[in-house]
């Protein structure tokens, strides 16, 4: 993590300067892009470990850039943190549905952003092989070490957060997880995220699972579970 390369797609030069200082203290390499168009090219060229993406950009906006990043098989698994205008919940929800891993509202504290990046980078690291071989539940195969999820042998295109959510639920089919338990397991304790964000991630995961989406069951007033195997 100490030598991570972070791509910041941000049109405000003052913010880029702030990020350069904060990331430099962490030993991270900052790659800068002033527009979404420039950022997409820079992402392919630099292959960053993580992307900080402003939503409000001149020309192509950040959500369209995110859509294109997640449609690119080379870049789809790169974690993306959105920088959103404070109070723009619709942008947050849309970004999470498109596969963003996290978001920070502007104006943001560099310390908060650095903490969010550390968390996202840890999630993206290869898992400990000691956790065991691939899980197999309801025709799904989840290999944490390879960060690979398959349905009947066909790869599922999941964001890092969606993958972690699916892995959590599949490890204990039938067990109910509260929204807070899901947040703690995937993001870490005391992580500032809303129940609505969990619901959005579950909705997106169900959609990507297709006909198997019904296996992720809602337990009213409690949370979610993977349907127990017969």
Confidence of residue 230 (pLDDT cuts 50, 70, 90): low
Name the residue ranges covered by the structural domains of the chain: 5-124, 129-226
Chain Cα centroid distance, residue 210: 20
Residue pLDDT, tens place only, 40-89: 999 988 889 999 999 999 999 999 999 999 888 778 888 999 998 866 77
Q: Looking at residue 188, what is its pLDDT?
A: 67
Q: Looking at residue 169, what is its pLDDT?
A: 93
Weakest-pLDDT range from 33-37, 181-185, 213-217: 181-185
More confident residue, 122 or 88: 122
Mean pLDDT for 15-30 is 94
Distance CA 14, CA 195 (A): 33
Picking from 19, 20, 6, the residue whose alpha carbon sits closest to that of residue 48 is 6
Mean pLDDT of the chain: 86
Residue 118 exposed, middle or buried by CB count within 10 Å (0-12, 13-18, 19+)? middle
More confident residue, 56 or 192: 56
- Give Cα separations from 31 to 4, 16, 49, 89 (angstroms): 11, 10, 11, 28
5-124 and 129-226, same CATH topology = no
For domain 5-124, give the CATH superfamily: Response regulator (3.40.50.2300)
Q: Looking at residue 34, what is its pLDDT?
A: 96
Residue pLDDT, tens place only, 124-160: 765 444 445 678 899 999 988 778 899 988 999 998 8
CATH code of the region 129-226: 1.10.10.10
Q: Looking at residue 192, what is its pLDDT?
A: 62
Token pair, residue 154, equals: 């066909």
Picking from 188, 175, 21, 191, the residue whose alpha carbon sits closest to that of residue 103 is 191
- Tokens 């899901």: give the residue: 182
Mean pLDDT for 176-199 is 76
Distance CA 28, CA 145 (A): 25
Q: Looking at residue 128, what is its pLDDT?
A: 47
Helical ranges in the chain per DSSP H: 13-26, 36-46, 62-71, 89-98, 110-124, 160-171, 179-186, 195-209
Question: Does residue 187 surpass a pLDDT of 80?
Answer: no
Token pair, residue 23, equals: 């990331």
Mean pLDDT for 158-182 is 87
Q: Looking at residue 224, what is its pLDDT?
A: 93
Q: Looking at residue 76, what is its pLDDT?
A: 83
Q: Looking at residue 152, what is its pLDDT?
A: 87
Q: Looking at residue 130, what is its pLDDT?
A: 45
């Amino acid at each position: 993590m100490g030598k991570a390369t972070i791509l910041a797609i941000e049109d405000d030069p003052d913010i880029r300067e702030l990020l350069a200082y904060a990331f430099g203290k962490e030993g991270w390499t900052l790659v800068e892009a002033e527009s979404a168009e420039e950022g997409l090219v820079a992402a392919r060229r630099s292959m960053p470990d993580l992307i900080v993406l402003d939503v409000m950009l001149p020309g192509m906006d950040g959500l369209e850039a995110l859509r294109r990043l997640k449609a690119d098989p080379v870049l789809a698994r790169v974690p993306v943190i959105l920088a959103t205008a404070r109070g723009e919940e619709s942008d947050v929800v849309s970004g999470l549905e498109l596969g963003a891993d996290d978001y920070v509202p502007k104006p943001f504290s560099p310390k908060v952003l650095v903490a969010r990046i550390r968390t996202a980078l840890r999630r993206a690291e290869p898992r400990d092989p000691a956790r065991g071989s691939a899980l197999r539940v309801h025709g799904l195969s989840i290999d944490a070490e390879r960060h690979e999820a398959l349905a009947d042998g066909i790869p599922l295109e999941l964001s890092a957060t969606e993958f972690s959510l699916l892995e959590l639920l599949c490890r204990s089919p039938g067990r109910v997880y509260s929204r807070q338990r899901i947040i703690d397991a995937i993001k870490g304790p005391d992580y500032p995220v809303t129940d609505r964000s969990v619901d959005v991630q579950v909705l997106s995961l169900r959609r990507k699972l297709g006909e198997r989406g019904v296996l992720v069951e809602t337990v009213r007033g409690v949370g979610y579970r993977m349907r127990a195997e017969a």
